[in-house]
Copies of this chain bind each other. A is one copy, B any other.
Amino acid sequence: MVKRNAFYAQSGGVTAVINASAAGVIQTARRHRARIGRVYAGRNGIIGALTEDLIDTGRESARSIAALRYTPGGAFGSCRYKLAGVDANRAQYERLLEVFRAHDIGYFFYNGGNDSADTCLKVAQVAENLGYPLQAILVPKTVDNDLAVTDNCPGFGSVAKYVATSMREAAFDVASMAKTSTKVFVLEVMGRHAGWITAAVGMADDAATPIPLVLLFPEIAFDEAKFLAAVDARVRAFGYCCVGVSEGLSDAQGKLLADAGTRDAFGHAQLGGVGPLLAALVKDRLKYKYHWAVADYLQRAARHLASKTDVLQAYAVGKAAVEMALDGGNAVMPAITRISDKPYRWKITQAPLSKVANVEKMLPRDYISRDGYGITAKARAYLGPLMKGEDPPPFKDGLPQYVRLKNVPVAKKLKATFVLD
């Protein structure tokens, strides 16, 4: 059995649990030392491979790697750097393989979303064309939950839990202020194209604690008059209203609301997001006092409130990626397959990257209520299990204790350097 090294990289926006996947990859590789030699990580993602800036994860203690399981962010650094098409920029791919060859990389684990699936697939194809033996596996990750084939995507469940919890808590606050003060609260959430995170806000409301919500999905064109009527009706009926809005809310022409010509004191286009915009609209037209919040990175970094299901699945896809590689898999991804809703049961299956790359899984229309402002029972059945369970990190002196790795560089072997675009 040939023993070769592995390369692992984190790609795109990070999540509260992407490091749990890293732990899954590294710990599993360490249990197969006969076949996997060293596990190198790319410093700042794929850029680390291109520039031969590799990190030797072998220099990290077992304890540090275990601590990745509960540490948010990307421990080795990530990047927003999309590899060009193979025809457009073959040199990039050849450089990648040159670095892999120099360090005897036989396993490529790429932890990312749609774009990364595409890159991972191309790397596999170029390697095959050039006769370089490589197994390229995508480790799925995205808070947006828009990856195809897999039932859900690690990273999403924790954001879902965060936004639902935050909206529920804020609603308790607003309800108590509404008599003389704030009547409308707007929470802007991530998910520019697909409304999965917006749908999760809907879970704040349930039979035990009903909350008058209006959800604004990127999939539903914004209708100002209808929106204002919906908010007004809730304020009149319940005394207050909570609005959960996707950053990607667009009008009927597909134009982002957040891009509606806003100018700040410096004359910049678009100072705020769509959240404050809607809050001001409510104030202007309905005269209700408002508050708004934009959680931004807080929602995807909130490891303190991670979903246990999410953490387990993030770890599982990392582990499965290594097992699939050892099993001969190439250009594939561990997908989460749901067996049942109640009780929630799931398993890891293998999906070909050709079915995942560049496909965006939108929120099904039947997850959105008929009026477009809420979620259906079907959405609840889907979302519920993903946010289930708590898995808090260790706390010390009142604050979560997260690990910082040493990130020791691997000695360079190539003479040629690579200049990024």
Q: Which of A118-126, A296-304, A350-358 lines the interface with chain B?
A: A296-304
Interface residues in A228-277 (C-beta closer than 8 Å to B): 260-266, 268, 271-273, 276-277
Interface residues in A6-62 (C-beta closer than 8 Å to B): 10, 13-14, 16, 44-45, 47
- Is A409 positioned at the interface, with any CB of B under 8 Å from its CB? no
> Hey, what's the 0/1 contact readout for A392-405 against B, CB within 8 Å counting as 1?
10010111111010
Assembly CA distance A304 to B163 (angstroms): 12
Assembly CA distance A59 to B397 (angstroms): 39
Assembly CA distance A287 to B75 (angstroms): 25
Assembly CA distance A107 to B307 (angstroms): 45
Q: How many residues of A contact B (CB 8 A)?
A: 92
Nearest opposing residue in chain B for A260, CB measure: B265
- Is A180 positioned at the interface, with any CB of B under 8 Å from its CB? yes
Assembly CA distance A80 to B72 (angstroms): 38
Enumerate chain B residues within 8 angstroms of A71, measured Cβ to Cβ: 172
Q: Would you call A400 and B176 a contact (CB within 8 A)?
A: no
Assembly CA distance A382 to B265 (angstroms): 38
Assembly CA distance A166 to B77 (angstroms): 19
Given contacts A181-B79, A399-B161, A298 and B261 within 8 Å (CB-CB): no
Interface residues in A332-363 (C-beta closer than 8 Å to B): none
Assembly CA distance A181 to B10 (angstroms): 14
Which of B47, B75, B386, B397 is the one whose CB lies under 8 Å from A388?
A: B397
Which of B73, B172, B187 is the one whose CB lies under 8 Å from A175?
A: B73
Which of B47, B80, B203, B402 is the one whose CB lies under 8 Å from A168?
A: B402
> Hey, what's the 0/1 contact readout for A139-183 against B, CB within 8 Å counting as 1?
000000000000000000000010011101111111111111110
Assembly CA distance A294 to B299 (angstroms): 12
Some 18 contacts from A to B, beta carbons below 8 A apart, are: A72-B169, A73-B173, A76-B176, A77-B175, A78-B179, A161-B398, A161-B399, A166-B302, A169-B297, A169-B301, A173-B301, A264-B277, A266-B280, A271-B271, A271-B272, A273-B276, A305-B305, A387-B399
